[in-house]
Amino acid sequence: MITSLLAFLVAVGLLVFVHEMGHYLAARSVGVHVLRFSVGFGRPLFMRRDRRGCEWVVAAIPLGGYVRMLDRNEPDTEAPAEALPVPSGAQSFDQKALAARAWVVVAGPLANFVFAAAAYALLGLVGRMEPLPVLHAPPADSIAAARGLAAGDTIVSANGAAVRGFSDLRWELARGSIGQGRPVLDLEVQSAGSAGSASRSVQIDLSSKARELQTDSPDALLAAAGISPESLAVRLTAIQPGSAAERAGLQAEMLVLAVNGSAVRHPRDLQALVQQSQGAAITLDIVQTPAGNPYEEIPGSRRQLSLTPEASADGRLRLGVGIAPLHELTQVREGLGQALWRGTVRTYEVAELSLQALGRMVVGDLSWRQISGPVGIAGVAGQSAELGLIAFIGFLALVSISIGVLNLLPIPMLDGGHLLYYLYEWVRGQPLPLEVQQAGQKLGLVLIAILTGFALVNDVSRVFGF
């Protein structure tokens, strides 16, 4: 809970600062006087005035921020102009040309996109370890098996994009499933043991699975299709107190290599053999690994343990362990130029996916339950922070893009709403009447309140499971 709260505050504070700094620097670049730069709303907790007369504020409500510029057409009850010192000769926002005002407005979302591209580039430079795009044997009755995929097949590309690790495959499926409502993978596959030979094309259409499971989740669809990265062994992640596994001496970080002499390399292999035991005692070949390094065997730790599976409330036999596959990993790392390019491309792709998903929600093709509010974001922030700095940076990039996209929507009160007003001014040659702008602000406030309500309802339903 504390981790989630701290991670959320850090993420919101940093990304709001980035967004408002974009507005601030753009305003300074065209000579507009800035009265206040605030991270948060409400009562100031910290305030400092610089030599230019701008107040730098950290306020009590950390759910946004603002840059208050000298603008005689836009009074602000939070920081009225007459309460802030204005140097003689200071230039007002409303006196600037249309292009300058548009630049100041668009610079906030642009800063969020630049931050995300830099974050993704940094992740590319640092590199990441992820499962090789080599397939484990799919179940005999799966879509993958029906399409001819087999153990050891290597996925070379998906939907025309190169696949370097398994996360690339998930991303391409997400773009089709969530963004377009078309969960189809056009794969280029190289058969096991045929390195250097010609590859073959395989199309995996998961539309029926998406309808059956009522999900657009790439992970859920890949699992349902029988597509998973090659597993070397079964790793024990947790031991249930009082279970048969605990009584037998099983411990987290152990690897299960065989059951009754039959090799197991994937969790479903272990699950199948446990069910086949029909409640009789089984013998596990196990090996202990050091904490945090399941790829290294502790010398002399190989041994056999016997235990009897126990029936659970649903009638299935269980050992009382948490299990996960042990994948062969590869390091995906990029040079500076490639990292900068891929960071920019990934930022564009995520922004495009966000807009596509929002469009599908508007027409009723995608559930509004996909939207998360502060509670949901805080939960994900905490989870990513616990996974480490790399995961948290990836989370920051994703949220930064979301902030940029949201602020560009043509809704009054948001940056996109101001740009809509400026478009009218550019076409007609005169500003939109002030009373129309004020009515638009009220409408925008209602729309934002509705969107916030959806997000909060979704947060509550996730927390309480309904």
Query: CB–CB of 323/267 below 8 Å?
Result: yes
Q: Which of 20, 130, 172, 349 is catalytic?
A: 20
Q: Please, which pLDDT band fits residue 58 given cuts at 50, 70 and 90?
A: very high
Judge whether 189 lies within some domain: yes
> What torsion do the CA atoms of 338, 342, 345, 347 make, to the nearest 10 degrees?
-140
Domain of residue 215: give its range.
131-229
Q: Are residues 141 and 159 in the same domain?
A: yes
Judge whether 414 lies within some domain: yes
Q: Please, which pLDDT band fits residue 449 given cuts at 50, 70 and 90?
A: confident
Q: Please, which pLDDT band fits residue 77 given cuts at 50, 70 and 90?
A: very low
Q: Report residue 462 as tokens.
A: 């996730």
Give the list of residues 6+ apart from residue 433 with CB closer than 8 angstroms, or none: none
Q: Are residues 222 and 265 in the same domain?
A: no
The pTM is what?
0.84
Residue after which a domain boundary falls, among 229, 263, 278: 229
Q: Are residues 240 and 223 in the same domain?
A: no
pLDDT tens readout for residues 382-418: 666 667 888 889 889 988 998 999 999 998 888 999 9
Q: Are residues 238 and 323 in the same domain?
A: yes
Judge whether 119 lies within some domain: no
Give strand pairing partners of 36.
Answer: 55, 68
Q: Are residues 158 and 266 in the same domain?
A: no
Q: Please, which pLDDT band fits residue 372 given cuts at 50, 70 and 90?
A: low
Q: Give the separation between CA 246 and CA 273, rounded to whole angstroms.
A: 19
Residue after which a domain boundary falls, among 294, 327, 360: 327
Q: Please, which pLDDT band fits residue 280 given cuts at 50, 70 and 90?
A: very high
Q: According to the 3-state scheme, what is the secondary structure of the chain? A: CHHHHHHHHHHHHHHHHHHHHHHHHHHHHCCECEEEEEEEEEEEEEEEECCCCCEEEEEEEEEEEEEEECCCCCCCCCCCHHHCCCCCCCECHHHCCHHHHHHHHHHHHHHHHHHHHHHHHHHHHHCEEEECCEECCCCCCCHHHHCCCCCCCEEEEECCEECCCHHHHHHHHHHHHHHHCCCEEEEEEECCCCCCCCCEEEEEECHHHHHHHCCCCHHHHHHHHCCCECEEEEEEEEECCCCHHHHHCCCCCEEEEEECCEECCCHHHHHHHHHHCCCCCEEEEEEECCCCCCCCCCCCCCEEEEECCEECCCCCEECCEEEEEEECEEEECCCHHHHHHHHHHHHHHHHHHHHHHHHHHHCCCCCHHHCCCHHHHHHHHHHHHHHCHHHHHHHHHHHHHHHHHHHHCCCCCCHHHHHHHHHHHHHHCCCCCHHHHHHHHHHHHHHHHHHHHHHHHHHHHHHHCC
| Res 79: pLDDT | 47
Q: Are residues 428 and 417 in the same domain?
A: yes
List the single range of 64-78, 233-247, 365-379 with lowest mean pLDDT. Answer: 365-379
Give mean pLDDT, residues 262-267.
Answer: 91
What is the number of alpha carbons within 13 Å of residue 57 lying toward its C-beta? 25
Judge whether 114 lies within some domain: no
In a 10 Å sphere around its CB, with 0-12 CB exposed, 13-18 middle and 19+ buried, how is residue 150 labelled? middle
Judge whether 123 lies within some domain: no
pLDDT tens readout for residues 121-150: 999 999 988 899 999 999 989 999 999 999
Judge whether 350 lies within some domain: yes
Query: CB–CB of 135/218 below 8 Å?
Result: no
Query: CB–CB of 202/156 below 8 Å?
Result: no
Q: Are residues 188 and 199 in the same domain?
A: yes
> What torsion do the CA atoms of 279, 283, 287, 290 make, to the nearest 10 degrees?
30
Q: Are residues 91 and 147 in the same domain?
A: no
Judge whether 110 lies within some domain: no
Residue 47 has pLDDT above 50, yes or no: yes
- Inter-axis angle of helices 98-126 and 389-408, nearest 10: 160
Query: Looking at residue 243, which CATH number applies to its domain?
Result: 2.30.42.10
Q: Give the separation between CA 132 and CA 167, rounded to whole angstroms.
A: 9
Name residue 51's amino acid.
R
Judge whether 303 lies within some domain: yes
pLDDT tens readout for residues 175-209: 888 888 888 999 999 987 666 567 899 999 999 88
Q: Is the dihedral of CA 80, 84, 85, 90 positive or negative?
A: negative
Q: Are residues 151 and 170 in the same domain?
A: yes
Give the list of residues 6+ apart from residue 421 with CB closer than 8 angstroms, or none: 412, 431, 432, 437, 440
Q: Please, which pLDDT band fits residue 81 given cuts at 50, 70 and 90?
A: very low
| Res 371: pLDDT | 66
| Res 458: pLDDT | 59
Q: Are residues 80 and 169 in the same domain?
A: no
Residue after which a domain boundary falls, among 229, 246, 265: 229
Q: Are residues 365 and 307 in the same domain?
A: no
Chain centroid offset of residue 360 CA: 19
Alpha carbon distances (Å) from 452 to 6, 368, 438, 448: 22, 12, 21, 6
- Residue 20 annotated to the active site: yes
| Res 52: pLDDT | 86
Work out how many domains the chain is built from and give that number: 4
Q: Are residues 176 and 292 in the same domain?
A: no
